[in-house]
């Protein structure tokens, strides 16, 4: 079975400092991994996805994530936080299972606070 | 290209009533999935439809049902509403075809906020 664990429920950074949001995954298959962001009262927006191509994945708004199979991790980083980055972030794995469906399994989310 | 749209955006119902939520996917997308988001349980998968057929179902009671129409639009229905059904219901669409389904990007709508009193 597939699962994801987001290691921090809340992360606080100062504007202009680096962001690190941690995610570990468990998967019996070669995983497809995603990071989504949710701003207050909004739907989910895809930041980036990993689907077994390059292990370093670049996304929108300066975010990137590195797939590390040996550590079963897919941490999200950004060199310099902006106030507009304050939101909830979800690490997600696609449930490949025994059938080809699009079911997504979400982590519990990490709230990113950016202080001025 | 227009995004995923969901109607209505907000709903208030009382216990025992039923409710129908609607989702219009991105043009050309054939897969629609539904998720429930609550503070306690987070985001949980309800079901997925592809070409008018339910392809996968989450662990929810039979009061939760859905369908997909030939134009890929989807509806979900919750009967005999309970207080615990209060949640944000999110719909996502993707191209959805066959073996690529697990790697497809899913695009989410803004959600329907359901409050059960």
Picking from B3, B65, B70, the residue whose alpha carbon sits closest to that of residue B34 is B65
Question: Mutate which of A36, A91, A98, A103 to test chain B, going by most B C-beta atoms within 10 A?
Answer: A103
- Partnered with residue A38 across adjacent β-strands are A44, A88
Backbone phi, psi, residue B75, to 5°? -130, 150
Residues of B in contact with A100 (CB under 8 A): 98-102
Q: Measured between alpha carbons, how far is A49 from A90 in angstroms, rounded to an integer?
A: 12
- Whether residue A104 and residue B33 make contact (CB cut-off 8 A), yes or no, is yes
pLDDT of residue B104: 80
What would the pLDDT profile of A87-111 be if each residue is shown by its tens digit? Answer: 999 999 987 665 666 788 999 999 9
Tokens of A86: 């304050």
pLDDT band with cut points at 50, 70 and 90 for residue A46: very high
- Whether residue A102 and residue B106 make contact (CB cut-off 8 A), yes or no, is yes
User: B46: nearest CA in chain A?
Assistant: A103
Task: Residue A113: count other Cβ atoms within 10 Å of its Cβ.
Answer: 13
pLDDT of residue A100: 62
Residue in B48, B92, B108 nearest the CB of A101: B48
Residue in A43, A100, A104 nearest the CB of B45: A104
For chain B, 117 residues long, the average pLDDT of each consecutive 10-residue run is: 92 97 95 94 93 90 96 96 97 78 84 97
Residues of A in contact with B33 (CB under 8 A): 102-104
């Amino acid at each position: 079975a597939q699962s994801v664990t987001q290691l921090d429920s809340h992360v606080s950074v100062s504007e202009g400092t680096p962001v690190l949001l941690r995610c570990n995954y468990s998967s019996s298959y070669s995983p497809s991994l995603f990071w989504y962001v949710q701003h207050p009262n909004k739907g989910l927006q895809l930041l980036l996805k990993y689907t077994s191509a390059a292990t370093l994945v670049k996304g929108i708004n300066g975010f990137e994530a590195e797939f590390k199979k040996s550590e079963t991790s897919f941490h999200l980083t950004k060199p310099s936080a902006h106030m507009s980055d304050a939101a909830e972030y979800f690490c997600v794995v696609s449930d490949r299972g025994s059938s080809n469906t699009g079911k997504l399994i979400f982590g519990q989310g990490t709230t990113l606070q950016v202080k001025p | 290209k227009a995004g995923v749209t969901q109607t209505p955006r907000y709903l208030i119902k009382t216990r025992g009533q039923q409710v129908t939520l609607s989702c219009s996917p991105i043009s050309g997308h054939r897969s629609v999935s539904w998720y429930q988001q609550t503070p306690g349980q987070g985001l949980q998968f309800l079901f997925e439809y592809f070409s008018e057929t339910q392809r996968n179902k989450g662990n929810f009671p039979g009061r939760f049902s859905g369908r997909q129409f030939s134009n890929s639009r989807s509806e979900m229905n919750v009967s005999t509403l309970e207080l615990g059904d209060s949640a944000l219901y999110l719909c996502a669409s993707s191209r959805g075809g066959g073996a690529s389904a697990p790697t497809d990007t899913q695009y989410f709508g803004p959600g329907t906020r359901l409050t059960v009193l």
